[in-house]
Every structure is written in structure tokens, then in C-alpha cells.
Structure 1
Amino acid sequence: MVGNRMVGEVMTGEVVQARPDTSVGELARMLASHRISGVPVVDEDDKVMGVVSQTDLTRRQAGLGRGGVGRRRLAGVLKRLVHARPAASAAMELMTSPAVTVHPEQRVVDAARIMERRHIDRLPVVDEEDRLIGITTRRDLLRVFLRTDEEIRREVADAVTARRAAPRGAEKLHVDVRDGMVTLAGSPGPEADASVLVRAAWRVDGVVGVVNRLTVERVSPRPPQDGAPSSSAVD
């Protein structure tokens, strides 16, 4: 489970972008030279009007159907378009509009769901006035989702340590991570709240599950002194 990481934390601020009158040849050069799958099209106020993807460009200019083409053939068509003079001559005629965008304060997990649902690889990031301020890609999101178990283990250990009510018993707390699955075991100390520690582990980016094997020690009541009653009686 990914925590509350925001799109603004993982987006790229420098964005390759096109204007409505950018030619198809220039679009093809942008995609090929930067090795990207699409570019946002913005107006003179930097507001996002649409997106031209590699598939949009090659499919429409090569007269391809909805089924699309294989990656190797698609790259070949794109290469030919750099010097070709296709029928559609500007980004305005090719772009998909309105563009699917996200805001920097949206969660990374929500951006990932949008990409999966819309079958797209990149999302323009816009401000409250729909001006382009960045781009986030599947690769950016994978940096959050695909973390090593050791990275996750260290962060979980720090998170649960910070949320213990008292430091006593720290040496008895064990954190194990395998394929993103966290196991909390041992005793975090008599004053600790196991549920708080489990929630802290869940909030760490890259955690897909938490197994709670914590055993919270209870402070035993002091034994009564000789001759003293073990419990009070109510008249």
C-alpha cells in the first residue's frame, strides 16, 4: 500500500510540450529525440488543451485502425514521419482533448489508478487554473511503488519507533519485510499500543500488507504487602 505521497513530490517539472500549430514532423522529432510517448499541447497561457501521444500520431498519419501496431512497427512509422509531409499538419488536428490531468496535491496512488483505467503512460500536472506545471509518468510512480524490501524495512522501523509511547523494550521489536509484506513481531514495550504501530507501518510507501505478531507486555500489579487484603471490599 502506498501512503499519502503526492503527485507534486514525484512529478518532473521540465516538460516537453507542443503548441496547437506544432507540425507533425516536429512532434515526431520531439517524441523520438526525447524518447517519450506523448506531449501535452498548451495554449499561449500554458493551459493544457490536449495531449498528442505516439500512438495517436502514428495511427492517424499511417491510416491505422483502432487495433494499433506493434512496438517495433510503431517506432518505424514514427521515424518516417520525422521527414514526411502527412495530411494532418498540426498538433491541434491530432491531439486528444480534453486532456486527462492531475493536480500536484493528488495522491500518487490515485494518479496510478487513473493511468491504469485510461491506459495511458503519462499525465500532465496542472495548477488550479489548468496551467501546465509538470508531468508524471508510470516510471515516476514506479519509483514509489517498487522499493526494495530493505528500504521499506528501514522506514517502517523508523516509523514504529517514533510512535512507541516509551523507548523501553525497543530491542524486543522486530521488523521483517518480504515482497512488500511487513511482519511486526516481538514486544515493543509495556506501554506501547500495537494498533498504532500497525497503522504506522501501513502508511509507509511500498507496504502491501502488515502481519501483526506483536505481543504487548502488561505491567503486573504490585503484590499486596503481608497482612493487606488483595482487593478492596465495598460495603
Structure 2
Amino acid sequence: MNSLLVRDVMTRGVVTVAPGFGYKQIVDLLIERGVSAVPVVDDARKVLGVVSEADLLHKVEFDGADVHARLFERRRHRVAKRKASGDTAGSLMSSPAVTVPATATLTQAARLMERHNVKRLPVLDDAGDLVGIVSRRDLLRRYLRGDDAIRQDILDNVLGGVLWLDPVEVTVEVTEGRVALSGKVDRRSTAQIAVRLVRALDGVVTVTDDLEWGFDDTTLQHRYTFDA
């Protein structure tokens, strides 16, 4: 039941640039390496920011226009104009960079990307040094597990390892990551925990819960909580 971490799916050997890297140098580097963004780092490999294709395109967007920001322009528009006049990584980058620890889960990384509306995250070790970069595509690797591996994980680790259930009590079917659970367990809470644990497994897309139970202990728990 070991879930994938960012360090398991990240790209290592990250291409980086220094703050003084020129606009054309960055463009050439992105094209040459086939990447859409590069972290900007200092001499100690600390991440200062990230330069992406979107940052570079501001120069195209405002080509020939007055790039001097006006007082009452929206902040986003002012930032775009400022980057349009930039010619080094330090003036073009988005900063501070949104980073993620190498030990973070893929779910945590996905939430960071969603919250900050970014497509990739520089990955840092415990010392805060750059060790990799993780993209949206990397996060999808958790769904590459085969159905047989997912089913065996459920039988061995969820049902047998955590819940101590006899595998014959629960039928597990997995088709393209879609899990169907059926059968009968002792308590309703056991069934709920089983479904919750299966949903968290790498490779699981959806869970269909057709489990039955012999005793509904959840109502008993609610009554005790209310009485207390």
C-alpha cells in the first residue's frame, strides 16, 4: 500500500538557468531540450523562480506597444507588460517559485498545481536544494498500474493486511482501474474503511461499493457520541 511520492515520478537532471541568462538563450534552450519551462537558480542551487513559455510570450503579445505600466492597470496586466520589457531570466521569471518537497504525495502536488494554476513544480530535498521537476503528466503515472497489480494490492494489503479479512469474504474485480467490491463483512464501518483505503490506492480510478455488512455499528457510534 505504499503510495507513490513526488520523488518517484519526478524528472531528475533538471535543466536550469541563472538569473543573467538572456531572452534568446532561454528560447533556444527550451526548444533544444523540448521543455516548456526552466527553473531559475542561484549559485547554491536555490530556486529563485521559473521561466515558462508563457512568460516569454509576453514580449510577443506587447511587441511594438508601450510597455510602461500605468498606475491604474490591473496587476496581472502590469506584470505582463513588465515581463514584455525584460531580457534576462531574472526579469522574466515568475517569482517566488511554487515548489514541492520530494517526499510529498502526488495528491499534495496536484493540489498545489491547482491552487496556484501552474503546470509544473520544482522539487526540493530536505535542504531546500533543487533535485527535480514534476509536471501534470508525471502525476498521471499513478494510473499506469495494471489491473492485476491493483487487485493483488487490495487483497494482500487492504483486506488481508489492514482489515484482517478473509479474502473469500470480499470479491474484488478491477477493469481499467475501476474497482468493484462485493461480498459481506462483519460491520458497516469495516466496509466503509475498505472503500476509503481502496480509493486511495495508486491506479484506482473509481470504486463501486456493493459491500454488505452483518452489523451497523455506525449508528451505535453516533449514539455514544451524542450521549457523551
- The answer, yes or no, to whether TM exceeds 0.5 is yes
More strand by share: 2
What amino acid sits opposite 2:50 in the alignment?
A: V
1:11 correspondence with 2:10 = yes
Deviation, 1:126, is 1.6
What amino acid sits opposite 1:32 in the alignment?
A: I
SS of match in other structure, 2:96? coil
Of 31-40 and 114-123, deviating more is: 114-123
What amino acid sits opposite 1:135 in the alignment?
A: I
May I ask how many residue pairs the two structures share in their alignment? 193
Give the gaps of 5 or more residues in structure 2.
64-83, 216-228
- Equivalent position of 1:95 in the other structure: 93
Deviation, 1:161, is 3.3
Tell me if the contact between 1:6 and 1:108 (Cα under 8 Å) persists in the aligned partners: yes
More helix by share: 2
Deviation, 1:135, is 0.7
Tell me if the contact between 2:101 and 2:124 (Cα under 8 Å) persists in the aligned partners: yes
SS of match in other structure, 1:184? strand
- Structure 2: distance between partners of 1:114 and 1:19: 25
Deviation, 1:117, is 2.9
1:177 correspondence with 2:174 = yes
- Pick closer, same or farther for the CA change 1:89–1:108 going to 2, 3 Å: same
What amino acid sits opposite 1:56 in the alignment?
A: D
- Pick closer, same or farther for the CA change 1:113–1:145 going to 2, 3 Å: farther
Task: Spell out the pairing of 1:56-205 with structure 2 (5 A cutoff).
Answer: 56-61=55-60, 63=62, 88-145=86-143, 147-159=145-157, 160-163=159-162, 165=164, 167=166, 170-171=167-168, 173-178=170-175, 180-187=177-184, 193-205=190-202
What amino acid sits opposite 1:55 in the alignment?
A: A
Identity of aligned residues (%): 38
Deviation, 1:150, is 4.6
Of 3-12 and 42-51, deviating more is: 3-12
- Pick closer, same or farther for the CA change 1:61–1:47 going to 2, 3 Å: farther
Give the gaps of 5 or more residues in structure 1.
65-85, 219-235
- Pick closer, same or farther for the CA change 1:46–1:197 going to 2, 3 Å: same
Tell me if the contact between 1:23 and 1:90 (Cα under 8 Å) persists in the aligned partners: yes
Tell me if the contact between 2:143 and 2:205 (Cα under 8 Å) persists in the aligned partners: no
- Pick closer, same or farther for the CA change 1:175–1:89 going to 2, 3 Å: same
What amino acid sits opposite 2:160 in the alignment?
A: T
Residue deviations 1:79-135 (CA, integer Å, cap 9, x gap): xxxxxxx96432111111111111112221121122123332110012344321211
SS of match in other structure, 1:185? strand
SS of match in other structure, 1:93? helix
- Structure 2: distance between partners of 1:157 and 1:174: 9
- Structure 2: distance between partners of 1:165 and 1:156: 12
SS of match in other structure, 2:26? helix
- 204, 207, 211: which one pairs with 1:210? 207
- Pick closer, same or farther for the CA change 1:47–1:175 going to 2, 3 Å: same
Tell me if the contact between 2:9 and 2:134 (Cα under 8 Å) persists in the aligned partners: yes
Q: CA RMSD in A?
A: 3.3
- Equivalent position of 1:44 in the other structure: 43
TM-score in terms of structure 2 length: 0.70
What amino acid sits opposite 1:13 in the alignment?
A: R
- Structure 2: distance between partners of 1:166 and 1:131: 44
Q: Which has the larger radius of gyration?
A: 1
TM-score in terms of structure 1 length: 0.68
- Structure 2: distance between partners of 1:202 and 1:7: 19
What amino acid sits opposite 1:33 in the alignment?
A: E
Deviation, 1:208, is 4.3
- Structure 1: distance between partners of 2:92 and 2:7: 28
SS of match in other structure, 1:5? coil
